[in-house]
Amino acid sequence: MELRVLQYFLAIAREQSIVRAAESLHLSQPALSTQIKGMEEELGKQLLIRGTKGSRKITLTEEGMILRKRAEEILNLVQKTEKEITLSDQVIVGDVYIGTGETDAVRLIARTARSLYGTYPGIHYHIASGNANFVLEQLEKGLIDFGIIFGSVDKTKYNSIKIPYKDIWGVLMRQDSPLAAKAFITPEDLWDKPLIISQQEDGNKELTEWIQRELPELEIVATYNLLFNASLMVEEGLGYAIGFDKIINTSGNSRLCFRPLSPKREDSMSIVWKKYQVFSKACEKFIEKLKEMPNICVSIP
């Protein structure tokens, strides 16, 4: 399977039309159709559903949707690799890709990048946000260089640096909610309240152990992937969001407030990378500078 043909396929998926895709690629329509038919024959699967005479809109089959996802990952990785290989040995420029959940520890990444900027302004940083499963999946595929994860690290697979931050768990609520008068939130406070929890927490034993209830016993009205979206649901009165402190600004004229959990729940975190990974020069400089930051604990078995 050629990379060029993958690019053709993605153009059709994007345009939902062979005619428009051919125009964007500066190819003739018959030539593009022949390339895609050849790919389908090679894979032994139909990838596209051609529209009828009344509608020329192209849709993807189930196999086509799988190929689209993988093709985007493959081409992104190829582009990233080409950049790393073709950079000059004399000038350190390049990209650093980091995957992370929502956490105040991103400040450490920002401070490290700022420290490097004066000497290496050609290094650029790309932050991909998602839960732990997303971060580890992207790391395994080579689509990111580093990942920030919470809790323990699998030292058989990753090198790591312990980050001197701990995220404090608590409840995001409206200023006029009944629980806003409390300094801390206990499990009993939430047993009869409408809750908004992280998709990652849905099924996480740590939450059920703290709250002393199984999730089906609670009133879970919504789940979220980004706490900002949850904060909008809280602001509209849907419920109470369980999440990290310092992600949502609750100061000034905010209608929201944050109260920590009691017993206290906090998560330590590490920045990890695959063992035996060969870094680009930009990534080497980034990790060297990160190790110099205060209170950093390096763990490289």
Q: What is the structure's pLDDT at 87?
A: 62
Q: What is the structure's pLDDT at 301?
A: 47
Six-digit token string for 237: 């009165």
Six-digit token string for 248: 């949502």
**SS3 sequence of 220-277:** EEEEECCHHHHHHHHHCCCCEEEEECCCCCCCCCCCEEEEEECCCCEEEEEEEEECCC
Six-digit token string for 158: 């990753």
Residue 195: closest CA among 208, 183, 205: 208
Q: What is the structure's pLDDT at 186?
A: 97
Q: What is the structure's pLDDT at 190?
A: 97
Q: What is the structure's pLDDT at 150?
A: 84
Residue 254: closest CA among 241, 230, 235: 235
Determine how many CB atoms are found less than 10 A away from the CB of residue 49: 11
Mean pLDDT of successive 10-residue stretches along the chain, which has 301 residues:
88 88 88 89 88 72 90 86 67 89 89 92 91 87 91 88 89 96 96 91 73 92 92 96 93 94 91 89 92 68 47
Q: What is the structure's pLDDT at 297?
A: 57
Mark 122-149 as b/e (b = at least 16 C-beta within 10 Å).
ebebeeeebbbebbbebbeeebbbbbbb
Q: What is the structure's pLDDT at 240?
A: 98
Q: What is the structure's pLDDT at 298?
A: 56
DSSP E strands, 2-76: 48-49, 59-60
Model pTM? 0.65
| Residues contacting residue 52 through CB under 8 Å, at least 6 positions apart | none
